[in-house]
């Protein structure tokens, strides 16, 4: 990567560089139900650290989604054991995670001597690390890995370029969401120049469903209903649907394809009567505030929370809150 002035303002960049230089063995992790940005960012940072002669292991709270198995290093990702390791890691990097409460069993990998660095781009990110390389100005945590690697003088390889590119593509929906900045596009160009195969990554990310899952998507769309004068779309997936593999589709995005819809909601019944709620908005509504009203968080255009009850209760509660913001 060219070593010139950083493309983005990161006040804690010097502290992040010192953190990397002071460590020998690094553990890299992300939030529970780690998404494409978290997986790709961890793998890219692992390669950057190894290029500096460091040892780096990716350990996630749960098994990574096989959708990302084309990324080099995916098969070596470890999953947190119920038995945490006897010797705890001294340097832990937590990517794409706004709060320490969201790393699940990885918490058991930390003791008083563990130095923690956070790389995150959520608006509501808490500075829970000793070093916090965080800014909502970045499209993704993977983009932050690019800026960190660049400041470390890392020479991009095709492998790392492709990993970072995938994380960015995932979080920006293919450079389409509002969190895409001019800097994101510049970084994207550098990554493609360095060998990221943009057609392959887009294909693997967006055209990578099995036929049964695609059929389930059809069923999910059948459940789509409009509320609040057709400005809110709600899809509902039962526990049985999720068991069928429906969890692998980001069904919430489909609600926004309806012209009149401003806010799209997906209710996924993770366990009976416990719903994971995903919220998306087209332009105006800050769905992070809606999620926050129920203890959740995220971004202005994409957020989530959890609610308990039967589907009618959950939907009623959400619609009452959404209506305040329409
Ligand atoms: Mn992210």
Map out the domains of the chain as residue ranges.
Answer: 13-206, 211-325
* 93 CA → ligand 1 middle, Å: 15
* 22 CA → ligand 1 middle, Å: 26
- Whether 298 has a pLDDT exceeding 60, the answer reads yes
Block residue for tokens 């203890």: 295
* 86 CA → ligand 1 middle, Å: 30
Length of the chain: 326
Q: Where are the alpha helices (DSSP H) in 80-237?
A: 141-151, 158-172, 182-193, 198-206, 211-222
* 99 CA → ligand 1 middle, Å: 13
Phi, psi of 86 (to 5 degrees): -65, -45
Average pLDDT, integer, range 85-109: 86
Whole-model pTM above 0.75? yes
Please tell me the CATH code under which domain 211-325 is placed: 3.10.310.30
* 194 CA → ligand 1 middle, Å: 22
- Residue 212's pLDDT band (boundaries 50, 70, 90)? confident
* 102 CA → ligand 1 middle, Å: 13
* 313 CA → ligand 1 middle, Å: 30
- What's the topology of domain 13-206? inorganic pyrophosphatase (n-terminal core) (3.90.1640)
Distance CA 176, CA 202 (A): 13
* 98 CA → ligand 1 middle, Å: 10
- Whether 244 has a pLDDT exceeding 70, the answer reads no
* 37 CA → ligand 1 middle, Å: 5
């Amino acid at each position: 990567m060219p070593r010139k002035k950083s493309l983005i303002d990161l006040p804690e960049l010097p502290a992040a560089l010192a953190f990397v230089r002071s460590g020998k063995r690094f553990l890299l992790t992300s939030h529970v139900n780690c998404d494409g940005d978290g997986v790709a960012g961890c793998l890219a940072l692992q390669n950057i650290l190894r290029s500096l002669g460091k040892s780096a292991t990716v350990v996630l709270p749960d098994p990574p989604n096989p959708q990302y198995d084309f990324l080099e290093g995916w098969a070596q990702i470890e999953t947190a054991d119920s038995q945490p390791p006897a010797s705890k890691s001294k340097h832990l990097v937590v990517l794409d995670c706004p709060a320490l409460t969201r790393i699940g069993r990885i918490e058991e990998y930390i003791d008083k001597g563990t130095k923690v660095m956070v790389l995150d781009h959520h608006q509501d990110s808490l500075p829970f690390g000793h070093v916090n390389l965080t800014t909502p100005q970045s499209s993704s945590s993977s983009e932050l890995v690019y800026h960190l690697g660049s400041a470390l003088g890392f020479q991009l390889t095709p492998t790392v370029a492709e990993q970072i590119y995938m994380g960015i593509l995932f979080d920006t929906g293919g450079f389409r969401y509002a969190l895409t900045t001019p800097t994101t596009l510049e970084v994207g160009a550098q990554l493609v120049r360095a060998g990221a195969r943009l057609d392959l990554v887009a294909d693997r990310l967006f055209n990578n469903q099995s036929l049964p899952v695609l059929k389930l998507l059809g069923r999910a769309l059948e459940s789509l209903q409009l509320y609040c004068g057709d400005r809110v779309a709600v899809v509902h997936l039962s526990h049985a649907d999720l068991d069928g593999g429906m969890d692998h589709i980001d069904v919430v995005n489909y609600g926004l394809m309806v012209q009149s819809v401003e806010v799209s909601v997906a209710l996924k019944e993770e366990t009976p009567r416990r719903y994971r709620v995903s919220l998306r908005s087209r332009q105006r509504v800050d769905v992070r505030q809606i999620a926050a009203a129920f203890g959740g968080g995220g971004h202005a255009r994409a957020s989530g929370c959890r609610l308990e009850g039967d589907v009618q209760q959950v939907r009623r509660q959400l619609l009452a809150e959404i209506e305040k913001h329409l």
